[in-house]
């Protein structure tokens, strides 16, 4: 295994320090480096907080800034941050209006964020939105339901814009829960993930194979299939997503093609072209788009497709200004 690192044990801490130093116009460390927060907090605004294991960069730390997150905490690679880290983020970011925690639907994340809320709720007004957009785990019947994957970015962007406009905590939670019912994702990979601590790949594919339905922690999917042309792969993903989302009158579609860490932009745009063509053939015009590497799984050569059906208000919140290290308009 060859990676640009000093040791597996120090990789996350050194990477996070490099991120903060590179983007000091947007972010600073919180006390004892337990979290990262916006350099300039807005008094009286609900704070939006998220976090998760390292290995998914730029999510979540790359989304800290105006119009998105106020703070985030980073665990070890593919490991939830601890309750003490999450409490530190709450203490750093709450300026008087409370905090909404955006949590991906994984057992470790849920357990630690819920524990942090229980420990800090006497001092802060807190609530939580759980993102669960990955159709793979609903297809396989896993008891915890859908995982939270690339759709988390859409939830954080729209909630972040609403918080900037002064939306109170209870309404933000309601907005987030409504969004979650209308965002669906699915991923595919051409290789597994090489985890620095173990120096092993999470799954191994033959030269003519691909893994359909992968997760962002290097989890294998529901099927190992023969490698195919891009349009066939993308069509399979879109067909599954379109069959799992309820299209209602007046819905406005956002299409997000996300790189999982090892896929070049040329291939992502090619995939976007195929996905857009497929969805528009279903009489669903695409009104907003995002293409790039935002929610990764270390060095996985793969991509995910996310379709979000939004209201007029949500489209306006998506369009609202954002200034973070990874997302800016």
**35: which 2 tokens?**
């979290």
Query: Strands 209-212 and 183-189, how do they pair?
Result: antiparallel
Instruction: Average the pLDDT over each of 128-137, 171-180, 199-208, 216-225 and give the range with the smallest value.
Output: 199-208
Do 19 and 61 meet the contact criterion of CB atoms below 8 Å apart? yes
Say what the pLDDT of residue 147 is.
Answer: 94
Is 56 an active-site residue?
Answer: yes
Is 217 an active-site residue?
Answer: yes
Question: Which band of pLDDT confidence, cut at 50, 70 and 90, is reported for residue 246?
Answer: confident
Mean pLDDT taken over the chain: 94
Annotated catalytic residue, options 56, 76, 222, 236: 56
In the predicted model, is pLDDT for residue 258 greater than 80?
yes
- Which residues fall within 8 angstroms of residue 229, CB to CB, at 6 or more apart? none
pTM beyond 0.85: yes
Instruction: Average the pLDDT over each of 110-119, 195-204, 256-265, 308-317 and give the range with the smallest value.
Output: 195-204
Annotated catalytic residue, options 40, 60, 124, 217: 217
In the predicted model, is pLDDT for residue 158 greater than 80?
yes
Q: What is the pLDDT of residues 35-57, one digit of tens each?
A: 999 999 999 999 999 999 999 99
Nearest Cα to 100, choosing from 193, 175, 154, 26?
175
Beta pairing partners, 201:
194
Say what the pLDDT of residue 223 is.
Answer: 84
Say what the pLDDT of residue 200 is.
Answer: 75
Say what the pLDDT of residue 138 is.
Answer: 65
Residue keyed to tokens 């590179």: 22
Say what the pLDDT of residue 137 is.
Answer: 73
Question: Which band of pLDDT confidence, cut at 50, 70 and 90, is reported for residue 194?
Answer: confident
Q: Which residues of 129-156 are buried (b: 16+ CB within 10 A; e: fewer)?
A: bbbbbbbbbbbeeeeeebbbbbbbbbbb
- Give phi and psi for 47, each to the nearest 5: -85, 135
The C-alpha angle 95, 127, 56, rounded to 5 degrees, equals 90
What is the 3-state secondary structure of 118-152?
Answer: HHHCCCCCEEEEEECCEHHHHHCCCCCCCECCCHH
Q: What is the pLDDT of residues 59-104, one digit of tens each?
A: 999 999 999 999 999 999 999 999 999 999 999 999 999 999 999 9
Say what the pLDDT of residue 141 is.
Answer: 54
Whole-number Å distance between alpha carbons of 270 and 289: 14
In the predicted model, is pLDDT for residue 140 greater than 60?
no
């Amino acid at each position: 295994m060859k990676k640009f690192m000093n040791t597996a044990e120090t990789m996350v801490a050194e990477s996070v320090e490099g991120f903060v130093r590179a983007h000091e116009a947007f972010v600073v460390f919180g006390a004892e480096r337990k979290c990262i927060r916006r350099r300039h907090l807005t008094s009286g605004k609900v704070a939006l907080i998220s976090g998760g294991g390292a290995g998914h960069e730029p999510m979540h730390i790359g989304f800290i800034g105006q119009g998105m997150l106020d703070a985030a905490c980073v665990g070890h690679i593919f490991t939830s941050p601890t309750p003490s880290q999450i409490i530190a983020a709450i203490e750093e970011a709450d300026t008087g209006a409370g905090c909404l925690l955006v949590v991906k639907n994984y057992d470790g994340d849920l357990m630690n964020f819920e524990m942090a809320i229980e420990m800090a709720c006497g001092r802060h007004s807190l609530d939580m939105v759980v993102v669960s957009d990955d159709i793979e785990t609903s297809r396989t019947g896993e008891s915890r339901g859908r995982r939270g994957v690339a759709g988390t970015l859409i939830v954080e962007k729209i909630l972040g814009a609403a918080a900037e406009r002064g939306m109170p905590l209870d309404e933000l939670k309601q907005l987030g829960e409504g969004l979650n019912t209308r965002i669906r994702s699915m991923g595919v990979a051409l290789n597994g993930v090489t985890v620095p601590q173990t120096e092993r790949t999470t799954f191994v594919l033959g030269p003519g194979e691909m893994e359909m339905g992968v997760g962002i922690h290097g989890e294998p999917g529901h099927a190992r299939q023969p490698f195919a042309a891009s349009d066939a792969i993308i069509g399979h993903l879109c067909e599954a997503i379109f069959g799992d989302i309820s299209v209602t009158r007046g819905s406005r579609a956002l299409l997000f093609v996300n790189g999982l860490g090892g896929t070049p932009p040329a291939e992502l745009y090619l995939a976007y072209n195929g996905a857009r063509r497929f969805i528009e053939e279903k009489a669903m015009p695409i009104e907003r788009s995002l293409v790039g590497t935002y929610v990764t799984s270390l060095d996985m050569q793969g991509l995910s497709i996310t379709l979000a059906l939004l209201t007029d208000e949500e489209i306006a919140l998506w369009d609202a200004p954002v200034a973070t290290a990874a997302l800016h308009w």
